[in-house]
Amino acid sequence: MARRVRVDCHLHTVASGDASLTLEELADRARATGLDVVFVTDHNVTEAAMAAARRDLGVRIIVGEEIRTPDGDVIGLFLTERIPYVLPLAEVTARIRAQGALVYAPHPFDLIRSSTGRVLPGLCQSGDVDVIEVFNAKIEDPALNDRAAELARSYGLPGGAGSDAHDAAGVGAAYLEMPDFDGPASFLAALADAAMTGEYRPHAVRYPRPIGPATTTG
């Protein structure tokens, strides 16, 4: 029987610019919460993920990137090089596939973040999506995750789950327990036997407001 692993498909480090999670904190929290594999999917950069993948951090790191496009954010999983942002969505998905990597649609129906929900059905129909994120731990309304799961089912696509952690407290909020894999093709195959665990866990406040009345000087 194949070894099973716990996998977080989507999280961020300080390299994203809007996160406070260091690589060391990521590794510590991943081990503490029982994660075996994490996809580091920083916004528009891959340097931290590539550096982490070369280190022995006690958790397997796989390189990803969350890429901004005019039609919403898309993630490349198993990347070997960075993809520039603000390119047309079709070009981004083509560049992901050219690396032998996977196209992953994060938080597709989120109402706050940049999402591909409006164009995602067309991408699914044309075969330009490999995995749809059916559980994102930063989405408060479960109906939005349910909508993503329904879309994945309707097109016969596998579902992913991600903590979307930007801080240490978020790591472990969502993951898949699935057979182990050694690359994009075996990851896709293993998703057919994945069990999802997840809970809503909002980002920690990065810049808390001061307690008590504000004071001014002049």
Query: Domain locations in the chain?
Result: 4-198
Q: How far apart are CA 201 and CA 139, in angstroms?
A: 8
Cβ 131 vs Cβ 191: under 8 Å: yes
Strand pairing report for 195-198 and 102-105: unpaired
Query: Per-residue pLDDT averaged across 49-75, rounded?
Result: 97
Evaluate if residue 25 carries a pLDDT over 50. Answer: yes
Q: Grade residue 13 by pLDDT with cuts at 50, 70 and 90.
A: very high
Q: How far apart are CA 57 and CA 29, in angstroms?
A: 11
Cβ 39 vs Cβ 9: under 8 Å: yes
The backbone torsions φ and ψ at residue 186, rounded to the nearest 5 degrees and listed phi first, read: -75, -30
Q: Grade residue 2 by pLDDT with cuts at 50, 70 and 90.
A: confident
Total-model pTM: 0.93
Close Cβ partners of 199 (under 8 Å, ≥ 6 residues apart) = 137, 173, 174
Q: Grade residue 206 by pLDDT with cuts at 50, 70 and 90.
A: low
H or E element at residue 123: helix 120-125
Chain centroid, CA 56 distance in Å? 21
What b-and-e string marks burial along 149-170, b requiring 16 or more CB atoms within 10 Å of the CB?
A: eebbeeeebbbbbbbbbbbbbb
Q: How far apart are CA 203 and CA 94, in angstroms?
A: 32
CATH 3.20.20.140 fits 4-198, yes or no: yes
Digit-coded pLDDT (tens) for 39-59: 999 999 999 999 999 999 999
Q: How far apart are CA 22 and CA 79, in angstroms?
A: 20
